[in-house]
């Protein structure tokens, strides 16, 4: 599978628009489209890194030198990426929410 196909599959799988991807990595919508169509064969290393980070995969996976992680792993990586931009207070709130969700999802104990 080519870089173009992987990029298209990742974008479709995450339901991001061409514009959303372009804005996130700092290039034009047309440039992302050209990459997906294989019309731009040699993106810069910096762009590959930005795209990989945006989609929650390694650069190696994006260019086909490693397996693309399953969608849930990609989603976790994207969430993790976005957490670093939040304030400590917001991260604490999210941590509390996750703990609460895990507790409510836990199977009932044998005593119940």
Nearest to 7 by CA among 81, 83, 31: 31
**For residue 64, what is the DSSP state?**
T
Query: Does residue 38 sit within a domain?
Result: yes
Structural domain includes residue 93: yes
Domain that holds residue 99: 3-105
Q: Give ∠ CA 34-25-57 in degrees, rounded to 5.
A: 90
In the chain, how many domains are there?
1
- Average pLDDT estimate for 3-29: 94
**Domain membership flag for residue 96:** yes
Q: Is residue 112 part of a domain?
A: no
CA distance 69 to 74: 6
pTM for this prediction: 0.70
What are 48-85's pLDDT values in tens digits?
Answer: 999 999 998 989 989 888 888 888 888 888 888 788 88
Task: Let me know if residue 25 belongs to a domain.
Answer: yes
Residue 95 forms part of a structural domain: yes
Taking phi over 0 as left and psi of -120 to 50 as alpha, with beta for the rest, 8 belongs to: alpha
Q: Residue 73's domain is classified under what CATH number?
A: 1.10.260.40
């Amino acid at each position: 599978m080519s870089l173009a196909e992987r990029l298209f599959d990742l974008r479709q799988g995450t339901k991001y628009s061409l514009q959303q991807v372009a804005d996130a990595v700092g290039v034009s919508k047309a440039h992302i489209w050209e990459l997906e169509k294989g019309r731009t064969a040699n993106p810069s290393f910096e762009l590959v890194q930005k795209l990989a980070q945006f989609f929650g995969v390694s650069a190696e996976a994006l260019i086909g030198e490693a397996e693309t992680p399953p969608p849930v792993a990609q989603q976790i990586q994207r969430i993790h990426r976005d957490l670093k931009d939040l304030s400590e207070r917001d991260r604490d709130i999210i941590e509390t929410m996750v703990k609460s969700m895990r507790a409510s999802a836990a199977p009932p104990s044998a005593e119940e």
